[in-house]
Amino acid sequence: MNVSDFPLDLDERQLLDEWLAYPDLTSWHIRRLKEAGVSPKCWIAAGEMTSPRIRAIGRTFIPDPMGEAAYCLKVFDGEPAGPINPDSSIPLVDLLAFRLEAPDRWYLRRGKWNLVLGKDQFVDAMAEGRPCVLHPTPLDWLRAECRGACPLDLAEAFQATERYWREAA
């Protein structure tokens, strides 16, 4: 397997096609997620999950059948389509992979680090001048039933918040 066979500059269609090729969660994966404190309604609300094998390359990943087992979430630019929000026009911007054994390390397929899981909740809270719970890892965000937000790059989240308040003033 050659790393150059997996470019990082995927468009939304290519990203979705790759996602669809990943294996679905098995009963073993589901049991492990439940044991880790993640409810099934949460990964459905988060836009479903898959269980690819990956190879980490820095802070990004590529699919690799000989790689490490991981859990993978779609990352949207807002709230994903689903039972809570049937609007499917929210763009898919990246895929996030993590391992239950090391939840404080996660990887993005395209490497778009200025993203936030739960971005819609983060932006709404800022606009309304109320606090938003920030979770340190995607697993913590999932355990909280996708309430609050998880900045995928904390430094970028702080900069975005500062820009927002400067522009709002």
pLDDT of the residue at 25: 87
Angstrom distance (rounded) from CA 71 to CA 69: 7
Q: 141, 135 in Cβ contact below 8 A?
A: yes
pLDDT at 64: 93
The number of folded domains in the chain is 1
pLDDT band per the 50, 70, 90 thresholds, residue 81: very low
46: confidence class by pLDDT, cuts 50, 70, 90:
low
Assess if residue 84 is contained within a domain: yes
Task: Give the residue-averaged pLDDT of 19-36.
Answer: 90
Residue 142 within any structural domain of the chain: yes
Top-ranked range on mean pLDDT: pick from 20-24, 85-89, 110-114, 129-133: 20-24
Q: Is residue 1 in a domain?
A: no
> Would 2 be classed as within a structural domain?
no
DSSP β-bridge partners for residue 96: 73, 108
